[in-house]
Amino acid sequence: MPKDLNDPKDDVSGVLARDNPLHGHAQALDPHADRRAWVAPLLSTLVTLPGALVALAYTMLAPMACDSCSDADSARFDTSFHPAFHGFLIGLVVPLGLLLASWGLPWQQRNAARRLVLALLAPGAVVLLAVLFTALVDWPW
């Protein structure tokens, strides 16, 4: 019986090529993969982390606002500052969680909108925490 030249079982290079996961673009690329999935989480990270650092510096420097206060004003400020500061520190978990969730979603087209929303909410959460901290502290002025 003549040998079939197109039979992949007889061709060693054909077997190796079929077994290679990188052989052919159809096997190597997921048709639903989002090639730009990293853009929104990266931009959000580049905005959120420095923003959180600036907000943290703002909250840590806030006690200097009451350096020249009277004893009554200082006591009122201290009683409101400590819970607000601890709440701010604990609240920083929210933007961090949003960032991690935006990075952790599977990089597929169906998650593009979710990833974008999570990436946009992270810096917004930092701003909201800073505003909430400012609102909770009983400032001396």
Residue 38, both tokens: 């990293």
User: Angle at Cα 73 formed by Cα 129 and Cα 139, nearest 5°?
Assistant: 25
pLDDT above 50 (res 9): yes
List the beta bridge partners of residue 108: 33
Mean pLDDT of the 99-125 span: 95
CB-based contact 136:87 (threshold 8 Å): yes
Share the mean pLDDT of the chain.
85
Q: Is residue 125 exposed (0-12), middle (13-18) or buried (19+ Cβ within 10 Å)? A: buried
Whether residue 21 is predicted with pLDDT greater than 80 in this model: the reply is: no
pLDDT band, very low/low/confident/very high, at 26 (cuts 50, 70, 90): very low
| Mean pLDDT along residues 117-126 | 97
Rounded average pLDDT over 108-122: 94
Q: What is the pLDDT of residue 66?
A: 81
3-state secondary structure of 33: strand
Under 8 Å between Cβ of 4 and 10: yes
Could you say which DSSP state residue 62 is in? Answer: G
Look up the pTM and report it. Answer: 0.74
Report the percent of the chain where pLDDT is more than 70: 79
d(CA 91, CA 137): 15
